[in-house]
Structure 1
Amino acid sequence: MKYTQRKKAILLLADGTVFEGKSIGIDGTSFGEICYNTGMTGYQEIFTDPSYFGQLMLATNAHIGNYGVNNNEVESDSIKIAGLVCKNFSFNYSRYGADGSLENYFEKEKVLAISDIDTRAVVRYIRDKGAMNAVISTETDLKVLKEKLKSIPNMKGLELASKVSTKESYFYGEANAPYKISALDIGIKKNILKNLVSRGCYIKVFPYNASFEEMNAFQPDGFFLSNGPGDPEPLKEAQELAKEIIKRDIPLFGICLGHQVIALANGISTYKMHNGHRGINHPVKNIITGKGEVTSQNHGFVVKREEVENHKDFEVTHIHLNDETLAGMKMKNKNCFSVQYHPEASPGPHDSSYLFDQFIENIKESKK
């Protein structure tokens, strides 16, 4: 695309604040909750992460698209963000092994993207005002856009796992692997599956509403509850599933949305954050070992730390060092643990990949 051909585009926030920029690819309008990610790299993994479904992604890194795209660096089968907002979009890319440009990638997937936005100003604004719905558009009639924006539901109370979950169960890995895992897909990332397979797991992945009976029929050595988008509160079927797994003391590991589901299944509350944690530079302290971890995070909801601390069956294992929110927990007398961040981070950091090893060790102990 010629720079001079680019249309005017706008970012309109729910409170009426407007930021002006330029369109990148297709024309149109896209709605979602505006959020920002502080990662300096890994934009393709971010865009294809199912946890971002229904959200407009604002990239804080100044340059997006400069290394193109690679077909092996996706976390799902398509772009999952509702749209992209960035400062400088690179129409030219330079990278050995790239399969194409980010511009063509967005056009092929029919996802709206806009650039030349003052992203520093937007981040400072929503950091102070809190997460809110927004619209990006090449349509510049503010009155029309404001009316449409009013009808977009708030993320609180919104069930989105069903929008990104697999429709049918499928297998991942080698059938003769030493461990069998039943995984609930409420927005699962491919690199989670790769991490489990690399540790000797054969996985059967189930839809978001699968029952314990369905998943247990695979005769798994352990269960996994995945990451995913939206509010965990409406996921009643997943909460019932977690209850059944815990009741039978089968090894259980949950990440992000799965972590929140485990909490709710045990009567522990979750809440929507003023601004979520999204980036690959979030500091976490492992309370058990005393070690610090640099982590990849992506969540707008969190489990209430004080309720975990006061729960007779749980203990806190990890704390986010920026705001002291809960980052991990485990059950005292059951084979169950979970974290609020991404140990499978790709690209890194890889400080937390030991959590997959911990899951395998729990399975080994359970099998004895």
Structure 2
Amino acid sequence: MDVGEKCRAAVLVEPGRMSVMEFDLPEVGPDEGLLQVEMVGVCGTDYGFYKGKIQDRRYPMIPGHEILGRIARIGPAAAAAYGVKAGDRVVVQSSIRCGRCPYCVSGEYQLCENRRSYGTTMPTSVPPALWGAFSTYMYLAPGSLIHRVSEAVPAEAAVLTCAVLANGLRWVLKMGQLRAGEAVVVQGVGPQGLAGIIAAREGGASPIVATGLTADHERFGLARLFGADHVIDVEREDVVARVAAVTAGRMANVVLDVTGAPQAIAGALDLVAKQGRIVQAGLSGATHQTPLVMDKLIFKEARIQGVLTHNMEAVQQAVRLVDSGRYPLEQMVTHRFPLEEAERAIRTVGREIQTAAVKVVLVP
């Protein structure tokens, strides 16, 4: 593969300011690699960086942690470890494992005590600067987690493998401990919520209920397409009454919240069944406090489970599901932008420019 010596990247110079810059491509060591980026998802985390709402970030930085690309260069040790070669099409997990801490040893790399992540934690001041996928090329560090994907899968589906679909699969099936025939409520119908609906369908849930805002109306059709039996507009309907009606009063065995909205988090206690599980994925902010009526949790013997992201097992499951073509995942992607319009892409995610976006991607 003809790589060249330079690449271009959309750099978040500081909150609210992005610039496309040129960088030198690094030499690749035995356990390193270089990825030619095919497509990268843009999500709410990127918008949080852009607005300066996520604490302890170092700027300038190259965002981009939902990564699809092609191996451009690969060292021999890395090639052997990942089972890939130059030219292979791959997805890359955002986490970079240290391989030494107790969490890495147990396979829970997302909780690594020395965790670094592509597109989120590393500024351009750390060589070789190319730590995010808002770029034509991205550096692959030792400890990366790389998975081959089929050439036949549309890019818009493949790019959702790790940070969207694998999240939903892990959150609902493993962390929510879903059993076939149980009722599921998914609060939020963005990409993460849609992935949760798919996971619930894969796990044999019945019924599956999705909730969203009036502004999410155009997403409701996708929720039904991916498996929701019922879709509720929380601004126009009584959610508790509707869920009670479709579950014969028993409520939901699993409630997945991806919104982080205080009223949704508190309301999950009214939606969850006795001995049910609330899976909390939506972030509310490092300093925000959400009041909960704990007596509701106690009298129902329910549980609240926090979740962060995907793990290796979930990504492997997601790769198989994407390859199967069972769901038209590419229909989630509603907006595509070139690298030069990265700032516009981020603002679209934040609904500053348009409100109808479901999933936004960059095509470097």
TM-score normalised by structure 1 residue count: 0.31
Return the structure number with greater strand share: 1
Structure with greater contact order relative to length (CA < 8 Å, sep ≥ 6): 2
TM-score normalised by structure 2 residue count: 0.31
